[in-house]
Chain A
Amino acid sequence: EDKVVQSPLSLVVHEGDTVTLNCSYEVTNFRSLLWYKQEKKAPTFLFMLTSSGIEKKSGRLSSILDKKELSSILNITATQTGDSAIYLCAVEAPNTGNQFYFGTGTSLTVIP
């Protein structure tokens, strides 16, 4: 059964801390892994990863994929209160319907 597991489920940090969010997957026919940020509305796209070891970076956020370990991490440095959100990981699998399998998300709270 295809599945995506995220850890931790929730995290509370202070402003300025660095956090690492984890995503592991067991999916047939992996095509890509996607990270989203969700703040009480629709998820917004952060990164798409397809190749192992190549870091994607956007400001204080970065992400990398390890296809050998079937996992990915999302790093956020110098966290701000605006980073408080649910972070979702999804894996694209071109099986019937080109499905996207989502993890349960990591709820991040950044306190001043």
Chain B
Amino acid sequence: NAGVTQTPKFRVLKTGQSMTLLCAQDMNHEYMYWYRQDPGMGLRLIHYSVGEGTTAKGEVPDGYNVSRLKKQNFLLGLESAAPSQTSVYFCASSSDRAATNEKLFFGSGTQLSVL
């Protein structure tokens, strides 16, 4: 059972470079999320999606874009990376039809450093 797969696991960028983080889930979940985690800040929502073809802004969306062209994939893009975007990024998915108590399923995280 793959669950939520997130790639890459680590990345170092120079200021101004662009990159895309890929999240894939095989649980047919309708909701997907991108969070960033900084020391002492908990998990902050960047963008989320309620279904294929839909995206919405979360708490800290500036400097990021997302796309959900297929239900199982949710991409997070940084068009022009800044040092303030150095963080650990987590993708997650959930469903109203989840049969277990574990409602929110996480990917393994991406450690991104912007120099």
Q: Identify the A interface with B (CB < 8 A).
A: 6, 9, 32, 34, 41-43, 45, 47-48, 88, 90, 92, 94, 96-100, 102-105
Total interface residues on B, CB under 8 Å, equals 26
A98 touches B101 (CB 8 A): no
Q: Identify the B interface with A (CB < 8 A).
A: 31, 33, 35, 40-45, 48-50, 56, 58, 90, 92, 94, 96, 101-104, 106-109
In the assembled complex, the CB of B36 is this many whole angstroms from the nearest CB of chain A, namely: 11
A97 touches B48 (CB 8 A): yes
In the assembled complex, the CB of B45 is this many whole angstroms from the nearest CB of chain A, namely: 7
A42 CB contact (under 8 Å) in B41, B96, B103, B106: B106
- Name the A residues within 8 Å of B109 (CB-CB): 41-42
CA distance A88 to B90 in the complex (A): 14
In the assembled complex, the CB of B58 is this many whole angstroms from the nearest CB of chain A, namely: 8
CA distance A41 to B35 in the complex (A): 13
A43 touches B106 (CB 8 A): yes
A90 touches B106 (CB 8 A): no
Q: A42-B90, A48-B101, A97-B50 are in contact. Are A102 and B43 (CB under 8 A)?
A: yes
A98 touches B31 (CB 8 A): yes
